[in-house]
Amino acid sequence: MSGKNGTNNILGITLTKFNKFSQLLAQFMTWPPNSPDLNPVDYSVWSILQEKVYKTRITDLDDLKHGIRTVWAKLDHAVIAAAVRQWRRRLSACVKADGGRFEHCF
């Protein structure tokens, strides 16, 4: 179609598609792709590391780095295995929630 009506129709279709795309994009932007709810280190392992590292006095950044490395090296592999097993349940919950929020399930 040419002329003013054809141009308006194309513009209308383009704007409609853009609006739908914007709505979809907004849904994903409200929950970051690097969600801590799907990262085993964030939802499980880090709190254990933090608790153990802060049992000793930290005086500077080098102490902190050393503490994290030391605790990580001694971390029981069962802790990591449990976090990975929970990840599968969390991923299933995310799929059931259609990518929406699900952290209240845990």
Check: CB of residue 96 under 8 Å from CB of residue 90: no
3-state secondary structure of 62: helix
Q: Kindly list the domain boundaries of the chain, sorted by start residue.
A: 1-30, 34-105
Percent of the residues in the chain that have a pLDDT greater than 90, as a whole number = 23
Segment 18-55, tens digit of pLDDT = 566 666 656 655 555 667 777 677 777 888 889 999 99
Residue 89 to residue 104: CA distance in whole angstroms: 13
- At 45 the pLDDT is 84
Residue 89 burial (CB < 10 Å; 0-12/13-18/19+)?
exposed
Share of the chain above pLDDT 70, in %: 65
Q: Which of 28, 32, 27, 44 is nearest to 89 (CA)?
A: 44
